Amino acid sequence: MGRRPRRRRVSRWGRPLGGLLLAGLVGLALAAVWVRWQLQPVGQGTAVVMTIQRGAELGSIAAGLRRQRLIRHAGVFVAYVRWRGDADRIKAGRHRLSPMMSPAEILDQLIHGRQERNGLVTIPEGFTVRRIAERLKARGVIDDAQAFLRLAEQPAGLIRNPFDLPPTGLEGYLFPSTYDFGSRMPPARVAERMLREFDDQFREPYREEIRRSGRSLYEIVTVASMIEREAEVDVDRPLIAGVIQNRLRKGMRLQIDATVLYALGYHKNRVLYRDLRVDSPYNTYRRRGLPPGPIANPGLPSLLAALRPARHDYLFYVAGADRAHIFTRTEAEHNRAVARMRALRPRPDD
């Protein structure tokens, strides 16, 4: 008689491993379906105009898209953008986006699309409240610049603000951007819109980092306003922030020219020695510590520089010939740098 074929024995680990493998494959398939669903258009809805600020981080952009209900999931959008290698190609500006667009179409618009420009009022970085009021009046957004200034100085009880404001008023917190305002608007509504933009672009996205810094929002915005008025190129912003931090730590006067100009109340191309004598709490040549409040309304790059100052041992800086600053550690080094820059200036006879 022939021998019966022997039955192959299944390893005691075979079935559990097979089950785990099957479960893993099912999980991957479900994850792929979920991700694919997150990359579909949200659906019906009204197109909105969204402003992307210069220097805005990808996570902040994605969070803004999610708040506007233009995408389904901020994290998936971030991962998709990075997978495509387009994280650094998104253009600042004002983009018209629709919930009928897929995340891929939204990203293409943010990179290549034509920007929305009709009915815009641009508030540049570094404008003071006074200059903002003048521009709003010139564009027909408000009827009375002085009424806007009075509101900015004493806003308590007159506006709905998303966070507590310092006693110095709205200076520093009216976010520089391009706005689509109507005409002849109440000053309070204009101010509230600009405060919400500050909240959306900086305070809320970086709330935890601000808390961990150990500094108040007032301190960060005040430093950012000085950076905004001093820096000419972006690379200098965190370096200037580091100088300010180092001088505050050592109890040195900040000696920032921009604070003198703010105390004077008008702009000059050069600060003269006699200007340094102006008696004002904003004059950081005469007073130690930070000024009482911001001296301008900083943009996001300066706010982030103030939040993340560069670590170094510089205590001085002077404007260089190429708009960038020269940073030095000692007063002697600083004086030599100043002498070099003065020697390069054209003489009045030239």
Distances (CA, A) of 229 to 115, 261, 328: 28, 10, 20
Concatenated DSSP letters of 206-274? THHHHHHHTS-HHHHHHHHHHHHHH-SSTTHHHHHHHHHHHHHHHT-----HHHHHHHHTS--SS--GG
pLDDT digits (tens, 9 = 90+) for 327-340: 999 999 999 999 99
pLDDT tier at 147, thresholds 50, 70, 90: very high
Query: Which pTM value belongs to this model?
Result: 0.71
Residues in the chain: 350
Domains of the chain, by residue range, sit at 48-112, 124-203, 215-344
In which element (H, E) is residue 122 found?
A: strand 121-122
pLDDT tier at 227, thresholds 50, 70, 90: very high
Is the model's pLDDT at 349 over the cut of 70?
A: no
Query: What local confidence, expressed as pLDDT, does residue 350 receive?
Result: 38
DSSP state of 276: G
170 neighbors 152 (Cβ within 8 angstroms): yes
pLDDT digits (tens, 9 = 90+) for 61-106: 999 999 999 999 999 999 999 999 999 999 988 888 999 999 999 9
Q: What is the CATH number of domain 48-112?
A: 3.30.1490.480
Concatenated DSSP letters of 279-324? --TT-TTTS-SS-SS-SS---HHHHHHHHSPPP----EEEE-TTSS
What is the spatial distance between Cα 64 and Cα 55, in angstroms, rounded to a whole number? 14
Query: What local confidence, expressed as pLDDT, does residue 45 receive?
Result: 79
DSSP state of 7: P
Is the model's pLDDT at 2 over the cut of 60?
A: no
pLDDT tier at 117, thresholds 50, 70, 90: low
Interval 222-231 mean pLDDT: 98
99 neighbors 41 (Cβ within 8 angstroms): yes
What is the spatial distance between Cα 258 and Cα 228, in angstroms, rounded to a whole number? 9
Average pLDDT, the chain: 90
